[in-house]
């Protein structure tokens, strides 16, 4: 019957509007690795403006900022995750991992597809 797969998507809404999910999580992860919003955007094939808009949305709609960015300086600026940003990443990864492991235990659903 070819390849069968249970897929899952998990995100957070604030007041009914998407706030955090796989896209922002990937962006924060890349900012953490690259130390720069511009480089993170490039890795995702996303415009700098789009990445900035996502970061601004996260930083302003949530309880506290997840990203700090610095302009200029010796290294030409850069960005990093705040403690809150790092914590959210850990919690989100933890949740998605648990969901994935539950799904992998329930693959008998696929026997009927």
Binding positions for a second copy, rule: CB under 8 A: 1-16, 19-20, 62-63, 84, 87-88, 91-92, 94-95, 98-99, 102-103, 106, 108-110, 112-113
Where are any strands of DSSP class E within 30-108? 67-70, 78-81
Nearest distance from C-beta of residue 17 to a second copy, angstroms:
10
Residue 50, classed as helix, strand or coil, is helix
Residue 78 or 88 having the CB closest to a second copy: 88
Residue 77 or 96 having the CB closest to a second copy: 96
Residue 31, classed as helix, strand or coil, is helix
The phi-psi region of residue 7 (left if phi > 0; otherwise alpha if psi is between -120 and 50; otherwise beta) is beta
Nearest distance from C-beta of residue 72 to a second copy, angstroms:
30
């Amino acid at each position: 019957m070819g390849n069968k797969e249970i897929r899952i998507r998990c995100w957070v809404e604030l007041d009914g509007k998407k706030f955090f999910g796989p896209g922002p999580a990937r962006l924060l992860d890349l900012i953490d690795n690259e130390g720069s919003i511009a480089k993170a955007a490039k890795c995702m094939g996303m415009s700098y403006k789009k990445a900035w808009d996502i970061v601004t949305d996260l930083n302003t709609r949530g309880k506290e900022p997840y990203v700090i960015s610095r302009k200029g300086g010796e290294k030409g600026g850069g960005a990093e995750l705040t403690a809150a940003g790092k914590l959210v990443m850990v919690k989100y990864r933890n949740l998605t991992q648990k969901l994935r492991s539950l799904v992998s235990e329930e693959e008998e659903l696929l026997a009927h597809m």
